[in-house]
């Protein structure tokens, strides 16, 4: 085919080609990162595309994008994450608290503070194996493993698992919960994210030799955001007191001296009805007496609300004894009381509420950790493939610079021979300078992305990594982006159903609803009257059973029994039983708390239902984004192919004198833009693919990562 025929054949595609090819090469501002001659890693070329013109029906937007999905019922069965959270025993190994739950025989164990290991500084073992010849060669799998082993956001979330464990131990002892952290850290976008000069198209520069400057310092490339997954905004009411599940032993002992004890006595005799004929009175004074007072009590609560109170003391002997008594156990008195609430504070459901909520929190903390792992995988994958795309763009700019330099050298030779107008040489030099400018900025973007990715994978401030960080100056991503010829079948209702059973954020929100129901039931119980039934048996006592507070507000600290240091007669033996009632006549505080907690529970249920709708939306929009990215990439690849053919045609025309060097230079610039557009479209495709996996909640499975390994901090 002659150049003229070749030109005529391709002329019809020129307008469409320029529209598709011009958008992606946004000019970048100067950066002091790299000089033009710096060598960056050679990246694999993009997959070649067929030059067959696109099928109009195939690219019709009405046929590319999936229609709206119908209603998909939220599954009632426990999600796989919940089942795994219930069945697994995986726990952080380096962050675990030691001595939190001492053995039964270790009596002194509870009085030694638990040991919390220092902050894990990271592990450079995997990094050492990946550095060769001053470069860090990374596959995506290596990058994810480094991030999950060393990323500080993941490390922080591991401590949340430990916090949940401490709350579980606290609840088992009769304490209230201090709560867990519901926030996860979103990774930085990098320079390839929103605002990227590479991946956001701009209008084609009408003059390819004049670069457009973008201020790279304005890109918010390293900023991180925090996302809270807590569905409640305020705490629930405390509810009834919690039994003292940890037994309490109370001891009171001391020495006292009783001196100048005075006993008043009187005797009256009567000689007739209503007439007193005589009386005698006297004062008896004893000698000083020495005593040792000893009082002990044992308290324990049970899950039904029952409280056992056992007392032993020698108060009777101390108050009424007539002889010295230095042995406090020679004449002790004893009292045993059982008190059972019948309304407020009755039943295992209300008294074990904190233990059950703590159990739910342990599952929630695991799901929160899984969410943080997903966020880290998602962010690291985006940063990694952005680095791949930026590296490909550097390669495009290097090739463009070589081509522009070759044109400038040829034009210089022709100008010296007098066969080329000087203005054409000036035009070639302008194109070369513009291309060099674009290369400098592309290299600067690549180095910026390297820094962001490195900080996501490694702990730059940790001394463990100092030697290894100095051992490489460059990151080389070895994986490439491959766009399949055709997408798999994306059945939206099926995908939505998978997401509703796999998303950890939805699973943990459902657990928050269940924990809220437990708290709301406790608030309703606290609005009931206080009605206790008790039974008491005491020796050497003369006191009525006092009305005592049962359990604690969740502190685990007992209220000292009233009878602990009170005495009675020396011979009284008492058996008593009865009821104790407190009846609030208005009860407005408790009723308000119960109503508020129920309303708050409804808010949590509403937010959880909204999250379910958001999951559905995420899946549908991710499917549309992937389908659009697939079609866009195919169009961009075909456009690049057409632009390459147009450049060949323009060169052929120039060789027979039917074109000008200016037209060739312009088509050289358009081809570079088309190749960058293809890179951007390929990058957008892989991000859309990652986004769909994220929306489905199966990023761990897709990247062959076991959650238990991530919890332990050692990936295989």
Least confident of 5-14, 83-92, 441-450, 591-600: 5-14
* DSSP β-bridge partners for residue 186: 225
Which residue bears the tokens 């962050």? 95
**Higher-pLDDT residue of 149, 76:** 149
Identify the H or E element spanning 664: helix 661-696
d(CA 682, CA 198): 12
Q: Give the model confidence (pLDDT) of 570-583 as tens digits.
A: 667 889 999 999 99
SS3 call for 701: helix
498 touches 477 (CB < 8 A): no
Query: For the packed helices 353-417 and 80-87, what is the interaxial angle rounded to 10 degrees?
Result: 120
- Residue 46 pLDDT exceeds 80: no
- Three-state SS letters, 77-136: CCCHHHHHHHHCCCCCCCCCCECCCCCCCCCCHHHCCCECCCCCCCCCHHHHHHEECCEE
**pLDDT for the residue 427:** 85
- Residue 185 pLDDT exceeds 90: yes
Residues 6+ apart with CB under 8 A from 308: 298, 299, 300, 301, 302, 336, 337, 338
**Higher-pLDDT residue of 287, 291:** 291
**pLDDT for the residue 545:** 84
Q: Would you state the structure tokens that stand for residue 689, as one six-digit string?
A: 């693919």
Mean pLDDT confidence for 305-329: 85
Strands 573-582 and 530-539: antiparallel
Least confident of 69-78, 235-244, 261-270, 271-280: 271-280
**pLDDT for the residue 269:** 52
Least confident of 196-200, 546-550, 607-611, 689-693: 196-200
Q: Give the model confidence (pLDDT) of 515-563 as tens digits.
A: 999 999 999 999 999 999 999 998 877 778 888 889 999 999 998 888 7
Q: Pick the closest to residue 697 from 585, 594, 611 (CA basis).
A: 611
**pLDDT for the residue 74:** 67
Highest mean pLDDT among 17-31, 252-266, 693-707: 693-707
SS3 call for 222: coil
| CB burial readout 117-132, b (16+ within 10 A) else e | eeebebbbeebeebee
Mean pLDDT confidence for 687-704: 95
Dihedral over alpha carbons 361, 152, 187, 606 (to 10 degrees): 10
pTM of the full predicted structure? 0.84
Q: How confident is the model at residue 90 (pLDDT cuts 50, 70, 90)?
A: confident
Q: Give the model confidence (pLDDT) of 624-660 as tens digits.
A: 999 999 999 999 999 999 999 999 999 899 888 888 8
Mean pLDDT confidence for 503-515: 94
Nearest 5°: the CA angle 167, 172, 174 is 95
Q: Pick the closest to residue 25 from 208, 218, 216, 217 (CA basis).
A: 208
Residue 460's Cβ-side half-sphere holds a number of Cα atoms within 13 Å equal to 6
**pLDDT for the residue 196:** 60
Strands 262-272 and 275-285: antiparallel
Q: Pick the closest to residue 510 from 239, 231, 700, 291 (CA basis).
A: 231
Residue boundaries of the structural domains of the chain = 3-40+138-239+353-517+595-712, 248-265+279-301+306-344+530-583
* DSSP β-bridge partners for residue 313: 295, 333
- Residue 315 pLDDT exceeds 50: yes
Q: How far apart are the first and last CA of the chain?
A: 58
d(CA 658, CA 4): 9
Mean pLDDT confidence for 281-294: 77
Q: Would you state the structure tokens that stand for residue 143, as one six-digit string?
A: 């990058």
**pLDDT for the residue 476:** 95
Residue count (the chain): 716
**pLDDT for the residue 484:** 94
Q: Using alpha carbons, list the distances in angstroms from residue 557 to 250, 344, 421, 514, 659.
A: 11, 20, 97, 28, 94
**pLDDT for the residue 108:** 62
Q: Give the model confidence (pLDDT) of 614-634 as tens digits.
A: 999 999 999 999 999 999 999
Q: How confident is the model at residue 47 (pLDDT cuts 50, 70, 90)?
A: very low
Q: Give the model confidence (pLDDT) of 201-241 as tens digits.
A: 433 444 555 555 656 555 555 667 889 999 988 899 999 99
Which residue bears the tokens 């690219």? 59
d(CA 618, CA 622): 6
d(CA 435, CA 669): 8
Q: How confident is the model at residue 107 (pLDDT cuts 50, 70, 90)?
A: low
Highest mean pLDDT among 79-93, 597-611, 665-679: 597-611
**pLDDT for the residue 461:** 86
Q: Pick the closest to residue 104 from 222, 247, 236, 262 (CA basis).
A: 247
Mean pLDDT confidence for 178-185: 95
Q: Give the model confidence (pLDDT) of 332-372 as tens digits.
A: 888 999 999 999 999 999 999 999 999 999 999 999 999 99
What does the DSSP assignment read for 422-478?
HHHHHHHHHHHHHHHHHHHHHHHHHHHHHHHHHHHHS-TTSGGGHHHHHT-SEEEE-
What does the DSSP assignment read for 608-648?
HHHHHHHHHHHHHHHHHHHHHHHHHHHHHHHHHHHHHHHHH
Identify the H or E element spanning 219: none
380 touches 456 (CB < 8 A): yes
**pLDDT for the residue 571:** 65
Residues 6+ apart with CB under 8 A from 14: 646
Q: Would you state the structure tokens that stand for residue 302, as one six-digit string?
A: 């049970």
Which residue bears the tokens 């006993």? 263
Q: Pick the closest to residue 255 from 162, 169, 327, 363 (CA basis).
A: 327
d(CA 189, CA 220): 8
Q: Give the model confidence (pLDDT) of 115-158 as tens digits.
A: 899 999 998 999 999 999 999 999 999 999 999 999 999 999 99
Mean pLDDT confidence for 311-317: 85
Which residue bears the tokens 């513009």? 434
Mean pLDDT confidence for 442-447: 89
**pLDDT for the residue 217:** 59
Q: How confident is the model at residue 434 (pLDDT cuts 50, 70, 90)?
A: confident
d(CA 537, CA 569): 15
Question: 473: how many CB neighbours lie within 10 A of its CB?
Answer: 10
116 touches 97 (CB < 8 A): yes
Q: Would you state the structure tokens that stand for residue 114, as one six-digit string?
A: 């638990």
Q: Would you state the structure tokens that stand for residue 346, as one six-digit string?
A: 């009755």
d(CA 46, CA 241): 68
Q: How confident is the model at residue 50 (pLDDT cuts 50, 70, 90)?
A: very low
Q: How confident is the model at residue 171 (pLDDT cuts 50, 70, 90)?
A: very high
d(CA 331, CA 308): 23
d(CA 86, CA 363): 7
d(CA 327, CA 314): 9
673 touches 24 (CB < 8 A): yes
Average pLDDT, the chain: 82
**Distance, CA of 371 to chain centre:** 5
Q: Using alpha carbons, list the distances in angstroms from residue 195 to 402, 441, 553, 689.
A: 29, 15, 53, 20
Which residue bears the tokens 């008294």? 351
Q: Would you state the structure tokens that stand for residue 234, as one six-digit string?
A: 């305020």
Identify the H or E element spanning 383: helix 353-417
In CATH terms, the fold of domain 3-40+138-239+353-517+595-712 is: Outer membrane efflux proteins (OEP) (1.20.1600)
Identify the H or E element spanning 580: strand 573-582
SS3 call for 656: coil
Positive or negative, the CA dihedral 118, 121, 126, 129 is negative
**Higher-pLDDT residue of 675, 716:** 675
Highest mean pLDDT among 18-32, 97-111, 636-650: 636-650
Q: Give the model confidence (pLDDT) of 407-418 as tens digits.
A: 889 889 988 888
């Amino acid at each position: 085919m002659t150049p003229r025929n070749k030109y005529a054949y391709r002329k019809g595609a020129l307008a469409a080609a320029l529209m598709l090819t011009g958008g992606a090469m946004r000019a970048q501002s100067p950066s002091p990162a790299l000089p033009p001659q710096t060598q960056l890693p050679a990246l694999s070329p993009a997959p070649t595309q067929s030059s067959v013109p696109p099928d109009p029906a195939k690219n019709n937007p009405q046929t590319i994008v999936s229609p709206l999905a119908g209603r998909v019922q939220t599954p009632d069965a426990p999600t796989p994450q919940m089942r795994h959270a219930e069945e697994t025993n995986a726990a952080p190994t380096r962050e675990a608290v030691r001595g939190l739950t001492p053995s039964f025989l270790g009596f002194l164990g509870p009085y030694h503070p638990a040991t919390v290991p220092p902050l894990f500084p990271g592990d450079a073992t995997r990094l050492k194996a990946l550095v060769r010849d001053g470069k860090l060669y990374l596959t995506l799998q290596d990058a994810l493993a480094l991030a999950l082993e060393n990323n500080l956001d993941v490390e922080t979330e591991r401590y949340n698992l430990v916090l949940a464990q401490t709350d579980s131990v606290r609840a088992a002892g009769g304490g209230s919960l201090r709560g867990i952290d519901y926030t996860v850290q979103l990774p930085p976008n990098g320079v390839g994210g929103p605002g990227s000069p590479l991946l956001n198209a701009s209008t084609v520069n009408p003059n390819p030799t004049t670069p457009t400057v973008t201020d790279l310092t304005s890109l918010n490339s390293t900023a991180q955001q925090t996302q809270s997954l807590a569905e409640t905004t305020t705490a629930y009411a405390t509810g009834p007191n919690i039994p003292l599940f940890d037994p309490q032993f109370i001891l009171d002992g001391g020495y006292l001296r009783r001196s100048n004890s005075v006993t008043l006595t009187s005797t009256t005799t009567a000689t007739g009805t209503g007439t007193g004929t005589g009386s005698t009175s006297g004062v008896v004074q004893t000698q000083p007496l020495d005593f040792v007072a000893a009082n002990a009590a044992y308290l324990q609560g049970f899950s039904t609300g029952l409280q056992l109170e056992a007392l032993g003391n020698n108060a009777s002997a101390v108050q009424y004894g007539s002889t010295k008594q230095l042995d406090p156990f020679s004449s002790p008195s004893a009292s045993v009381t059982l008190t059972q609430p019948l309304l407020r504070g009755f039943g295992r459901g209300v008294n074990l509420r904190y233990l059950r909520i703590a159990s739910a929190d342990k599952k929630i903390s695991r799901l929160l950790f899984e969410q943080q792992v997903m966020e880290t995988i998602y962010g690291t994958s985006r940063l990694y493939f952005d680095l791949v795309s930026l590296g490909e763009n550097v390669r495009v700019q290097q090739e463009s610079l070589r081509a522009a330099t070759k044109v400038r050298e040829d034009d210089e030779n022709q100008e010296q021979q007098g066969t080329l107008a000087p203005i054409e040489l000036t035009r070639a030099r302008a194109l070369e300078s513009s291309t060099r400018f674009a290369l400098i900025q592309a290299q600067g973007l690549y180095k910026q992305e390297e820094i962001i990715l490195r900080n996501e994978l490694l702990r730059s401030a940790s001394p463990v990594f100092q030697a290894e960080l100095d051992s490489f100056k460059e990151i080389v991503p070895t994986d490439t982006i491959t766009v399949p010829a055709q997408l798999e079948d994306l059945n939206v209702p099926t995908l939505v159903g998978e997401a509703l059973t796999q998303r950890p954020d939805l699973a943990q929100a459902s657990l928050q609803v269940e924990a809220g129901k437990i708290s709301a039931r406790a608030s309703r119980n606290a609005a009931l009257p206080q009605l206790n039934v008790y039974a008491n048996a005491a020796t050497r006592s003369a006191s009525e059973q006092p009305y005592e507070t049962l359990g604690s507000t969740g502190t685990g600290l007992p209220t000292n029994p009233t009878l602990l240091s009170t005495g009675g007669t020396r011979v009284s033996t008492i058996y008593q039983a009865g009821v104790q009632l407190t009846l609030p006549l208005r009860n407005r505080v408790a009723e308000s708390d119960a109503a508020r907690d129920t309303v708050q529970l409804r808010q949590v249920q509403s937010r959880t239902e909204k999250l379910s709708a958001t999951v559905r939306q995420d899946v549908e929009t991710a499917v549309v984004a992937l389908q659009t990215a697939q079609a866009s990439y195919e169009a961009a690849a075909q456009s690049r192919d057409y632009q390459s053919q147009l450049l060949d045609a323009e060169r052929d025309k120039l060789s027979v004198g039917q074109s000008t060097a200016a037209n060739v230079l312009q088509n050289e610039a358009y081809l570079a833009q088309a190749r960058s557009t293809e890179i951007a479209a390929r990058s957008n495709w892989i991000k859309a693919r990652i986004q769909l996996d994220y929306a489905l909640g199966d990023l761990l499975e897709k990247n062959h990562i076991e959650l238990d390994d991530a919890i332990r901090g050692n990936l295989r």
